[in-house]
Structure 1
Amino acid sequence: MRLSGLWCAAVVGALVAAPVPVQADPVPPNTDPVVGAAGQNDPYYPLDGNGGYDADHYEVSVDYDPPSHQLTGSTRIDATATQPLRMFNLDFNGPDVRMVSVNYLPAAFDRNGEHELTVTPLLPLLPGLPFTVTVDYAGQVADTEGAGWTYAPNGGAFVAGEPRSATSWYPLNDTPLDKATFTLHASVPEEWEVVSTGVRTRNTVTGAKRNVTWETHQPVLGYLTTVAIDHYSYLEQRRANGTPLISAFAPDAERNRETELRLPEILDFAEALYGPYPFDAAGGIYVDADLDFSLETQTRPIYAPWTDLPTVVHEIAHQWWGDSVSVRQWSDICLNECFASYTADYLWPERMEGKDVDAEYRKTIRKNRNEPKFWDIPLENPGAGNEFTSVYYRGPLFLHALRKQLGDDIFFAAVRQFNTAHAYGNASMPEFRAFMQSKSPTDLTGFFDAWLNRTTPPSDEYLFPGTLRD
């Protein structure tokens, strides 16, 4: 995710006191061995996700009518039980549920809490065995303004939001710890277009309906999926290796086409840093709604109207940091945003535009060293509600200082190795710290503590390591 410049400035300006990282109340212990837990006990969002099963694939079918915002949906979830289950939960706060089946037999269900859909199969599920859940639902979807469905001014709509958005349009196990492949089948009136993530395998018109299928073949998290409906025009390109690049532009977003023409160049740039592009398709979705952020939806980011070249570089860097390698917990958010911000704000200007980023680093430190609010929120474990703050404006400084501490050869080889080792999975900040320490001949404990855990400026030895020393 990249926030608009005005939003970032407002965030920094609003920070007036050092917050204590917020830990949400944990999920009460589940004492019934045949009931899946209602959450995964993430320290910030303990009721997100569910226990007792692993999702393998989502097959989402939706019929959407733009004038009325009516959605009719059916989602099939292929999963594997990890314990005996007489009851389990899905995360869903979308339209009214009409029917649920498990292994094609009717199942009882109950909606409760903020987003819980509790399912009771007719026959209990056995551990280690696959099962299928189908949920049918229908109703009007509400405009959540960046936390799920968002209406476009011309009548279109799209889904975007982090850390949650998928629950607004299909049921799932909504946790970073359970990635799955994803297929979307969408029907809309013939004059509308539908864009999603992955590879487009169908786009046909039958009668008054357009029927579109998008397939995401590599595992994906819920908030990194999307459906976008508008009168899109397309830009179709290919990388030198044949990877298809499909980008879509809402009617008032055509001005971004020139930037998106540089997508092959941006992918090549990021690939040289972090290893082979991890997916089989790429592109972008340029919306024209009033949105304060752009989002790294997997393979095809959603771009707000204010999008510029650094924003595209940022979201493409997320395809490695956030999409392929995802956080274990939301307290690890620096892995996503620190790297995406460093790539766009430091590495691209340095390598592609010839900028002196060492000088820019020193200038930023001089400007903010004596500004307490600049250092108030720690980079590691910033606290619930503070995830999307310091990682943007201080994260690049941390990584640049780490690079200078280690030297270019060690730093760039290590971050590439770390990303490759965790591809299509999860990683944490403690794991990143341990890995980088294993590549360093000197003890990095003080460096990491000063930059990641403290809420005061690091001392000179950590602010100006290596060639940053004047």
Structure 2
Amino acid sequence: MTFSPQRLLLCCLALTLTGCTGPADDAEEPLPTVTKPFHGAVGAGDPYYPTQGNGGYDVRGYDIDISYNPNSQHLKGEATITATATQQLSRFNLDLRGFDVKSVFVNGDRAAFTRMREHELVITPAKRVENGEELVTRVRYSGKPTSTDEDELATVGWLTTSSGGSYALGEPHSASFWYPVNETPRDKATFRLSARVPEGWVAVSIGKQKSKRTEDGWTTYTWEDTNPAASYVTTVAIDKFTVERSRLDDGTPVLSAYAPGQESKRELEARNGEIIDFLSSKFGPYPQDTAGGIYMSDSISFALETQGRPTYASWADLDTVVHEYAHQWYGNSVTIESWSDMCLNECFASYSEWLWAEAKQGMDLDQYYLNKVDELAGDDSFWADKLHKMGAGNEFDGMYGKSKLAMHALRRKVGDDVFDQVLREWAREHRHSNASWPEFERFVSDRADVELAEFFDVWFRGEEIPPDEHLYPGTLRP
């Protein structure tokens, strides 16, 4: 994710005035992990968002079929979720915000269901599902999709555009605003979408476009991504797009969609191949099956690394594109285990902007780093942002400023050879899986010939400017 410069300034001012926040205090009451022996857990186990996601099953794939009319803003959907039960299940939950649920079937039989709190769809199958058994759930639903501004830095969910279009976007929540989902990054799955829109409108999603057909004044677009994706990097964008197709040198298909007024962004898209080649030289082979971008016409406050096809606001620039493509390795292929691990996503993507500037613009990163440290040395609020164990609601604090300094200091602490090795091996060993920040610290420590425990503590969990021995390691020493 990348935030607009204006949004980052507002957030810094807000944090200065209000201080950091802890876990949301508007929860109705503490929730048990398991309500009864055969009930799937309410929540996936992340302490920052205890009711996000669910337990008792592992999703393998989503097959989503929606019809959406931009004029009425009405969505009709049918979702088929294929999973494997990880325990005996007499009841389990999916996450879905709003909508009128018409019916639920589990393994072909009609199931009972009810709604709980703002996002829980509680399902009781006709027959108990055994541990290890395939669990196929089909949900039919309809209504007007919604959004929320409860997330700290942006409005997320189902967003509408000035041109009358709509798109689903946000982190940590967005998928449950338009389809039933196990909304946790811990449960990645393949994704297939058929989106039916009035003729003249275009529906774009992640993955490869499998088909397009028009009938009775409606056009259906089908998309499929066979790489496992966290739900927050899935999307659908509906607008009167101009769509262009090409291929990278290795044959990877590129599809770029420009909302009305965004055709000038072709200059950015023309550099996709160069950006991917550069990042591949740092992180290893490109891990996604597609490339391209979705350029929305509105000035939303963030861009997002939707898988294989990032979604951009109208203010997006070259650094934004580099950042969101870096996430295709760090964030999308290697996905966080918990939201406290956000540095695994944003620290790498943010530092990739510096790596690009060093390689393509000849920037002296050591001197740039020293200038930044001098400039910010007396700014206590800058150093107070934690990059790990930051607390719920603070996941993005420091991720676009302090993280770059921390990563450059780490590079100088361990040396270029180890740093380069880590960037490639970490992405390779955790390709299309989940990982945690403590795992990364151990991974680096095992390859470095210097002690790193204190370094990681003061830079990534500290709330003050690091002492000189860690602020000026290696070639950064005055």
TM-score of the two chains, using structure 1 as the length reference: 0.97
Q: CA RMSD in A?
A: 1.4
Write the mapping of 1:140-219 to structure 2, written as runs, cut at 5 A. 140-144=144-148, 146-219=155-228
* 1:437 match: 445
How far does residue 33 in structure 1 lie from its aligned partner after superposition?
A: 1.6
Write the mapping of 1:248-287 to structure 2, written as runs, cut at 5 A. 248-287=257-296
Cα distance between partner residues in 2 of 1:188 and 1:176: 29
User: In the alignment, is residue 5 of structure 1 matched against residue 13 of structure 2?
Assistant: no
Cα distance between partner residues in 2 of 1:43 and 1:27: 11
- Does structure 2 retain, via aligned residues, the 8 Å contact 1:18–1:377? no
- Does structure 2 retain, via aligned residues, the 8 Å contact 1:144–1:150? no
Write the mapping of 1:310-349 to structure 2, written as runs, cut at 5 A. 310-344=319-353, 346-349=354-357
Once the two structures are superposed, residues 420-449 of structure 1 have per-residue CA deviations (whole angstroms, 9 ceiling, x without a partner) of 111111111100101100011111111111
Q: Greater CA deviation, 32-41 or 53-62? A: 32-41
* 1:91 match: 95
Write the mapping of 1:404-443 to structure 2, written as runs, cut at 5 A. 404-443=412-451
User: In the alignment, is residue 466 of structure 1 matched against residue 459 of structure 2?
Assistant: no
- Does structure 2 retain, via aligned residues, the 8 Å contact 1:17–1:373? no
* 2:43 paired residue among 10, 34, 39: 39
Cα distance between partner residues in 2 of 1:255 and 1:218: 31
Cα distance between partner residues in 1 of 2:204 and 2:416: 39
Whichever residue aligns with residue 93 of structure 1, its letter is R
Whichever residue aligns with residue 348 of structure 1, its letter is W
How far does residue 143 in structure 1 lie from its aligned partner after superposition?
A: 5.0
Whichever residue aligns with residue 266 of structure 2, its letter is R
Cα distance between partner residues in 2 of 1:317 and 1:27: 36
Cα distance between partner residues in 2 of 1:224 and 1:267: 19
Whichever residue aligns with residue 7 of structure 1, its letter is R
3-state SS in 2 of match to 1:6: helix
- Does structure 1 retain, via aligned residues, the 8 Å contact 2:147–2:177? no
Cα distance between partner residues in 2 of 1:156 and 1:29: 39
3-state SS in 1 of match to 2:399: helix
Relative distance call for 1:21 and 1:424 in structure 2 (3 A) is farther
Cα distance between partner residues in 2 of 1:58 and 1:176: 14
Whichever residue aligns with residue 14 of structure 1, its letter is A
How far does residue 388 in structure 1 lie from its aligned partner after superposition?
A: 1.4
Whichever residue aligns with residue 68 of structure 1, its letter is S
Write the mapping of 1:211-230 to structure 2, written as runs, cut at 5 A. 211-230=220-239
Cα distance between partner residues in 2 of 1:301 and 1:20: 29
How far does residue 20 in structure 1 lie from its aligned partner after superposition?
A: 6.7
Cα distance between partner residues in 1 of 2:162 and 2:208: 27
- Does structure 1 retain, via aligned residues, the 8 Å contact 2:20–2:394? no
- Does structure 2 retain, via aligned residues, the 8 Å contact 1:327–1:336? yes
Once the two structures are superposed, residues 50-69 of structure 1 have per-residue CA deviations (whole angstroms, 9 ceiling, x without a partner) of 11100011000000001010
Cα distance between partner residues in 2 of 1:61 and 1:326: 26
Which runs of no fewer than 5 residues in structure 1 stay unpaired?
Answer: none
Once the two structures are superposed, residues 239-264 of structure 1 have per-residue CA deviations (whole angstroms, 9 ceiling, x without a partner) of 11100000100002112111111111
Cα distance between partner residues in 2 of 1:94 and 1:352: 47
* 1:124 paired residue among 128, 135, 145: 128
User: In the alignment, is residue 382 of structure 1 matched against residue 386 of structure 2?
Assistant: no
3-state SS in 1 of match to 2:167: strand
Relative distance call for 1:21 and 1:148 in structure 2 (3 A) is closer
Whichever residue aligns with residue 39 of structure 2, its letter is V
3-state SS in 1 of match to 2:16: coil
Relative distance call for 1:214 and 1:79 in structure 2 (3 A) is same
Write the mapping of 1:282-321 to structure 2, written as runs, cut at 5 A. 282-321=291-330
- Does structure 1 retain, via aligned residues, the 8 Å contact 2:158–2:169? yes
Cα distance between partner residues in 2 of 1:276 and 1:21: 39
Cα distance between partner residues in 2 of 1:75 and 1:29: 26
Cα distance between partner residues in 2 of 1:291 and 1:256: 16
How far does residue 31 in structure 1 lie from its aligned partner after superposition?
A: 5.1
- Does structure 1 retain, via aligned residues, the 8 Å contact 2:65–2:77? yes
How far does residue 186 in structure 1 lie from its aligned partner after superposition?
A: 0.8
How far does residue 163 in structure 1 lie from its aligned partner after superposition?
A: 0.3
- Does structure 1 retain, via aligned residues, the 8 Å contact 2:35–2:41? no
How far does residue 343 in structure 1 lie from its aligned partner after superposition?
A: 0.2
Cα distance between partner residues in 1 of 2:205 and 2:341: 27
Write the mapping of 1:10-159 to structure 2, written as runs, cut at 5 A. 10-16=10-16, 22-23=22-23, 27-30=31-34, 32-144=36-148, 146-159=155-168
Cα distance between partner residues in 2 of 1:398 and 1:15: 21
How far does residue 456 in structure 1 lie from its aligned partner after superposition?
A: 0.3
Whichever residue aligns with residue 264 of structure 2, its letter is R
Relative distance call for 1:20 and 1:69 in structure 2 (3 A) is closer
Once the two structures are superposed, residues 319-378 of structure 1 have per-residue CA deviations (whole angstroms, 9 ceiling, x without a partner) of 00100001100000011001000001x100000111111111111111111111111221
Q: Greater CA deviation, 457-466 or 14-23? A: 14-23
- Does structure 2 retain, via aligned residues, the 8 Å contact 1:337–1:392? yes
3-state SS in 1 of match to 2:445: helix
How far does residue 23 in structure 1 lie from its aligned partner after superposition?
A: 4.7
3-state SS in 2 of match to 1:298: coil
How far does residue 114 in structure 1 lie from its aligned partner after superposition?
A: 2.2
3-state SS in 1 of match to 2:84: strand
Cα distance between partner residues in 1 of 2:139 and 2:299: 32
Whichever residue aligns with residue 4 of structure 1, its letter is S
Once the two structures are superposed, residues 265-315 of structure 1 have per-residue CA deviations (whole angstroms, 9 ceiling, x without a partner) of 111111111011111111100001230000001111110000000000000
Once the two structures are superposed, residues 142-168 of structure 1 have per-residue CA deviations (whole angstroms, 9 ceiling, x without a partner) of 354731111011111000000000001
How far does residue 95 in structure 1 lie from its aligned partner after superposition?
A: 1.4
Large movers: runs of 4+ above 6 Å: none
Taking every aligned residue pair, what percent have the same amino acid on both sides?
Answer: 45
How far does residue 45 in structure 1 lie from its aligned partner after superposition?
A: 0.6
TM-score of the two chains, using structure 2 as the length reference: 0.96
* 1:365 paired residue among 347, 359, 373: 373
Which runs of no fewer than 5 residues in structure 2 stay unpaired?
Answer: 150-154
Cα distance between partner residues in 1 of 2:65 and 2:98: 14
3-state SS in 2 of match to 1:8: helix
Relative distance call for 1:17 and 1:155 in structure 2 (3 A) is closer
3-state SS in 2 of match to 1:223: helix
Whichever residue aligns with residue 365 of structure 1, its letter is V
- Does structure 2 retain, via aligned residues, the 8 Å contact 1:23–1:43? no
* 2:250 paired residue among 222, 241, 244: 241
How far does residue 19 in structure 1 lie from its aligned partner after superposition?
A: 5.6
Relative distance call for 1:440 and 1:225 in structure 2 (3 A) is same
* 2:152 match: none
3-state SS in 1 of match to 2:400: helix
3-state SS in 2 of match to 1:133: strand
